[in-house]
Amino acid sequence: MTPHPLELRRIRKSFSGVKVLKDIDLVLPDKGAILGLVGENGAGKSTLMNVLGGVLPRDSGELLLDGLPYHPAGPVDADRAGIAIIHQELNLFSNMTIAENLYLTGAPGTRLHLLSYRAMNRAARAELARVGLDLNPATRVSELSMGVRQLVEIAKALSREARIVVFDEPTTSLATHEKERLFRLIRELSEKGVSIIYISHALDDVLALCHHVAVLRDGTLVGQSPVREMTKERMIAMMVGRKLDQLFPWVPKRPGEVLLRVDGLGQGSIFRDVSLGLRAGEIVGMFGLMGAGRSELLRAVYGVDPFDAGRVLFRGAPVRRPEPSWWVEHGVAYITENRREEGLLMPKTVKENLVLANLRRLRRTLGAVDTRREERESEEAIGRLRIKTYDKARQAVRMLSGGNQQKVVIGKWLVTRPTVFLVDEPTRGVDVGAKFEIYSHLNALAGEGSAVLFVSSEMEELMGVCDRILVLSRGRLAGELARPEFDQHRLLELAIGGHDARSVA
Amino acid sequence: MPAASPKVTVAAAFYRYGLFVVVLFLLLTFSLFNRNFVSGANAVNLLQQTASTGIAASGLVFVMVAGGIDISLGSTMFLSSVIVASAANAGAGLWPSFAIAIGCGALVGVVNGVCVALLRIVPLIVTLASLYAVRGVALSITGIQSVDFFNPVGDAVAYVRLGGVVPVVVVISAATLVLSQLVLSRTLYGRQLYAIGNNASGARVMGVAVRRNVFLSYVICGALAGLAGMVSGAQVGSITPSFSEGQEFIIITSAILGGVSLFGGKGTVLPGAFLGVLIIMCIENGLVMAGANMYLYTIVRGFVIFLAVMLDCLRNTGELR
Amino acid sequence: MSVDRAERTGEAAAEPAPAAPEQARPRPEGPARAGPGGSGGFRRWFEVHVASSVERVSMLAFAVFLLGSILFVPKFANPVNLGNMLVQCTDLIILACGMTFVFMNGGIDFSVTAVLALGSVTGAAVMQHGGGSPASVAEAIAAMLGIGLGIGALNGLMVTRLRMPSFIATMASQLIFSGAALWWTQSSTIGGIPRSFLAIGRGRVLGVEVPILVMVAVVAACAGLLHRTVFGRCVFAVGTNHRTSRISGIPVRRTIFQLFILCGGLAAVAAIVMTARSGAGMPGLGKSMLMDIVGAVVIGGTAVTGGKGSILGTATGAALIIALNNSLNLLGIEWYVINALKGGMITLVALLGVVQAKGDV
């Protein structure tokens, strides 16, 4: 019996004690098989692919390529083993030509260490033809569209003789005709014996393209079957079929005036025509899949990145050029999804981080810092959030566990007593007990009259804590569910909807 | 990332050919003022003047393209010139002298390279420290006295004309420029430097030996600065303790004017840096012809650096530091 | 930033891990790990309290060096010599304090010597023109401060608005403005400085020389500004991470701009003191001081990449440099060799900073 091209046995992976991959058994059954991998955000797809690609080491379990053990120590090993991962952010160098990108570590026709551009370009043309591109290989990558770049990346993978190609959300930035071209190519590759793993939220595409489908949920493989035994309904059910037995601290509220309103906001092709209103005393959830544009929306509202259409209103008055410092002054807080690079000063102490957003209020005469208030507020925050640190004035935030780090970010903002709280994945990497505390804090804030916009990929916590949930799909508001209408299935359907639709270019 | 719009390509074309236009413009203007400017003799003269800067600039392009910087060039030139001059005075032959000059420079390059690539210290600080340290070392060899380069080697470099027409320094410079450009554009190493300057972590993932390549770029830069020092020293004849002081900024300006970006990933030796050197030399010559006060030179240099870097920053952006 | 993505190396449900598998290693949440046996106690204390901070290493080195010099270098402990060193310290410390601010953001200011040169000649010219009257002295001081603040503002604009790297932006200013000073004076000095102004450099108040008082005031003010004010907290934050600072509501661009103004302004103060002492407007004032200024800041523990630093450390670094210059000179070592040594020291200290940043102390 010929061994499977790829087999994963009981793969386990944890981060800071949180289990991300739990005993995953995944099989690429035959050469040339196209395996679709689906799951919500946080299901474990990216981590799994990173283990496969040698970016992350696994904690335990085995990887077998054609029956032989495979232990990548880094991405270079994966490359040599014939595994290529086509990420969303392509690894192309924009300042060089296609041919130069293809042959960065070794070019055909090189003599006496001198590259022969003739030979390179000729060979590159052949590689490009394999992916159906008829381009001049001497074109600079910076001049190519996303769709074409993706194909170049695939050509690169093939030129390195990849036997297994993983596509991670390949169609998010593609126009329809580009998508169809990609699918044609994938089918050709499959016929030529290249095995494919296809990760996507567009379930219709997965059903159309793949031979097998595997569903991940919360780090476990829920099931793998041939495509003819799969339906969209079944996939969604498997993706969300968890027992919702956790109790969430929800309290009924009486929402007041609209504090923050967004009118027809748009940013290029990332999100368009988004309108929403946040009322005092309510917790509004925002759900969506990867690529939906939720974080981009928040960043645009807060002024971190620019937007090109629509407007933002605070307490009824339009905010002309939103800037983070303006929002902070007016009591609007923003917790980013990237706490290491945008939420914390990693080498600085817990205390320094906790007071960061509230500095203007700590000012005394001559600009001096009110050290007593600084001490009091940081101590308070540590107490309220139960942040574990042996010495807040000495321990660098970098040394804390992920959960504690997140608590510091939240604490930093709680200290400013915001009236509007925009939070992006606030419980990511936080243990269960701490999660609950965070929900209680959000509730307390709402109880005091603040408005909370809660962006998350975990639909249970959204359904548990929010008063209503907005669903963003492919940059547009796909729908809104009021609390009585909360339903896992419906949420996911709405979230997927935009991805599946025959999108406009 | 969107496809290039027509507006962008017009600007790109401007930048690509703009240099040639500027050089032509400068040459024309000067020829109006001075009949002799366009003569063959003056052209040769100009090339002689730009020789050492051109050689040093070639080396610098390697470092800058990979995203680094080296401000110790003037001191390296000084070190190698005094050592070579002393060696030649003691009887060293022509080819050994070249080897010594390049070797000295390469040694400085090795130190810089180790600190930057291996020890991961910020290139600006490493090369700033080298700026002072290397000159200090060189001065301790000379004992703050001028070193004369009036010996067979020095005379050969300064006066010999191949075929009676082309000065040796021009040949050396031309060869260096051509070879450097060849390595940058036609070898894997060169292309990898561009990749590193564009996205170092991406290059590493693809299996490029980033640290080794960056280290080598500093060695090459140092070696060529050493060669430039020898050439310049021979031309000047008497090497004073302040020889080549501040020269690094002229070299850096030439490179930036020539399209080599401070932020890495872009630029060429030919035509880029070479044209940059020509522009600088034309400006300086222009000042001479206008009979400008000698203190005006510094001010003009400052403005030229400012303009060159501003252009670079408008096209490519970095962090606010 | 591309379409909202999970970190490539992480997951929505877990902590986003960095690309290299060095995340979340179990970290002891107490002070440094114990050393072996009895000597372990001292070693641990050393690691935690001394080696953990470059600044402290420098202070230690300074103490050791000072002691050594007093004991072994002839004429070092001579009161006249000590007096000279103190005078040199005043100039260097004032300049280095200003430079510290710019270094806090990972930048550098090459134009301080230009402020010295242009400020000196301008002030002298104003006083000479005004016939040495008290009004002209006041005008001169105002003009010199104006020049320092103006050049600083220019540098700040180039870095924050034109997005030019500070090393080359300030190099351009340096060339332009010191060139201007040289051109204007044709390299000659300007005399005619009245006694009232000279008093700043040579007078005494309550028995203490004025420059020393100025230095102490500058150090106190800068230390207060950097370590005790809201602005100072902003500086530390901005120097550590621009993105986090901005999102937390800190005006990043404005803060960076102010750093350059501070540096230029303090250079102007130094220009005033130095011109008063030398007695003439000199276009070459402080020409060779740049290395010592950078050395003082780096050796004093300010991180070259920004986000970390201390005024007291800078002052110590400056004192160490002056002591080094002085005692090595007394030992007969040439200035260029001393320069070479200082260059090596700067690299070593920078290396120490890199090593320390990687460690977790």
Among chain B residues, the shortest Cα distance to A97 is held by B191
* Residue C61 token pair: 């080195």
Instruction: Note the pLDDT of residue C356.
Output: 76
Work out whether strand A468-473 and strand A476-482 pair parallel, antiparallel, or are unpaired.
antiparallel
| pLDDT for A291 | 77
Judge whether residue C9 has pLDDT over 90.
Answer: no
Q: Rounded mean pLDDT of chain B?
A: 88
Cα angle for residues C110, C111, C113 (degrees, 5° grid): 100
Residues of A in Cβ contact (< 8 Å) with B203? 93, 104
d(CA C91, CA C268): 11
Q: Both tokens of residue A125?
A: 């043309």
Mean pLDDT of B313-317: 80
Interval C184-206 mean pLDDT: 86
Q: Tell me the CA distances in angstroms from C353 to B119, B133, C22, C306, C320, one per residue in order.
A: 11, 20, 20, 11, 18
Residue B179, in any domain of the structure: yes
Q: Do B125 and C298 make contact, defined as CB atoms within 8 angstroms? A: yes
Three-state DSSP at A264 gives strand
| Residue A326 pLDDT greater than 70, yes or no | yes
Q: Which two tokens stand for residue B10?
A: 């017009």
Two structure tokens written together for A59: 């904690």
Query: What is the residue type of C338?
Result: I
Mean pLDDT on C246-265: 96
Q: Could C245 and A343 be called an inter-chain contact, meaning their C-beta atoms sit closer than 8 Å? A: no
Place of tokens 């701009």: C257
Q: What is the mean pLDDT of residues C183-211?
A: 86
Flag if C165 and B318 touch (Cβ within 8 Å): yes
What is the per-residue pLDDT across B149-166, written as a single tens digit (0 to 9) for each?
A: 888 888 888 888 887 778
Q: How confident is the model at residue A37 (pLDDT cuts 50, 70, 90)?
A: very high
pLDDT tier at C20 (50, 70, 90 boundaries)?
very low
In a domain, B132, yes or no: yes
Contact B3 A104 (CB under 8 A): no
pLDDT at residue C130 in the model? 86
Of A418, A402, A421, which is closest to residue A466 (Cα–Cα)?
A421
DSSP C269-331: HHHHHHHHHH-SB-TTTTTT-HHHHHHHHHHTT--TTSS---HHHHHHHHHHHHHHHHHHHHT
Can you give the pLDDT at residue A243? 64
pLDDT > 60? residue C12: no
More confident position, C128 or C4: C128
Under CATH, which number does the domain A257-331+419-505 receive? 3.40.50.300
- What separation in angstroms does the CA of C198 have from each of C132, C191, C210, C214, C269? 11, 12, 10, 14, 14
The string of pLDDT tens digits covering residues A148-196 is 898 899 899 888 888 999 998 888 778 888 888 889 999 999 999 999 9
- Chain C residue numbers with beta carbons less than 8 Å from the beta carbon of A425 are 12
- Residue A345 to residue C241, Cβ atoms within 8 A: yes
- Chain B: closest CA distance from residue A435 (Å): 34
Provide the domain count of chain B.
Answer: 1
Higher pLDDT, B7 or C44: C44
pLDDT band at B212 (very low <50, low <70, confident <90, very high): very high
Domain coordinates in residue numbering, chain A: 6-240, 257-331+419-505, 343-417
- Would you place residue C48 in the very low, low, confident or very high pLDDT band (cuts 50, 70, 90)? low
Contact (CB<8Å) A345/C240:
yes
Query: How far is C196 from chain B, CA to nearest CA, in Å?
Result: 32
Residue from B7, B16, B188, B319 whose CB has the most chain A CBs within 10 Å, to mutate: B188
Residue B2 lies in a domain: no
CB burial class (10 A; 0-12, 13-18, 19+) of residue B309? Answer: buried
What is the overall mean pLDDT for chain C? 83
pLDDT of residue B14: 61
Confidence of residue B74 (pLDDT cuts 50, 70, 90): very high
DSSP-assigned states of every residue in C220-236: HHHHHHHHHBHHHHHHH
Which tens digits make up the pLDDT trace of A471-498? 999 899 999 999 999 988 899 989 988 6
* Reported ipTM: 0.88
Residue B320 lies in a domain: no
What subunits make at least 3 CB pairs under 8 angstroms with A? Answer: B, C
Say if strands A468-473 and A451-456 run parallel, antiparallel, or are unpaired.
unpaired
Interchain CB distance below 8 Å, A352 and C246: no
CA dist list (Å): C32 to C28, C45, C51, C65, C190: 8, 9, 11, 28, 59
Q: Give the integer Cα–Cα distance in Å for A337 and B138.
A: 54
Query: Residues for chain A: how many in total?
Result: 505
- For the cut 50, the answer to whether the pLDDT of residue C35 exceeds it is no
pTM to 2 decimals?
A: 0.88
Residue A124 sits at the vertex; the CA angle it makes with A123 and A125, to the nearest 5 degrees, is: 90
Contacts of A88 in chain C (CB under 8 A): 2-3, 5
Model confidence band, residue C174 (pLDDT cutoffs 50, 70, 90)? very high
Q: What is the CATH number of domain A6-240?
A: 3.40.50.300
Please name the member of C178, C252, C339 whose beta carbon is closest to the beta carbon of B298: C178
Crossing angle of helices B6-33/B274-289, nearest 10°? 40
HEC string of A99-112 equals HHHHCCCCCCCCEC
Parent domain of B271: 21-315
Q: What is the CA radius of gyration of chain B?
A: 20
User: How buried is residue A116: exposed, middle or buried, by Cβ count under 10 Å (0-12/13-18/19+)?
Assistant: middle
- Of all helices (H) and strands (E), which one includes residue C355? helix C335-358
Residue A503, pLDDT score = 40
Closest to B262 in 3D by CA, of B226, B308, B209: B308
- pLDDT greater at residue A248 or residue B107: B107
- Intrachain domains A6-240 and A257-331+419-505 with the same fold: yes
The packing angle between helices B94-113 and B210-236, to 10°, is: 140
Q: What percent of chain A has pLDDT over 90?
A: 44
Q: Is the pLDDT of residue C7 over 60?
A: no
Note the pLDDT of residue A422. Answer: 95
pLDDT at res. C2? 31
Residues of A with CB below 8 A from B186's CB? 114-115, 117
Pick the CATH number of C64-358 from 1.10.287, 3.40.50, 3.50.30, 1.10.3470: 1.10.3470
Task: Tell me the nearest-neighbour CA distance from C182 into chain B, angstroms.
Answer: 6
Structure tokens at A264: 């027809």
Q: Which of A58-67, A460-469, B2-11, B174-183 has the lowest mean pLDDT?
A: B2-11
Residues on B contacting A at a C-beta cutoff of 8 Å: 1-4, 182, 186-189, 191-192, 194-195, 197-199, 202-203, 205-208, 265-266
Please indicate whether, in this complex, the C-beta atoms of C360 and A396 are within 8 angstroms of each other: yes
Q: Residue B70's domain is classified under what CATH number?
A: 1.10.3470
Mean pLDDT of B175-192: 95
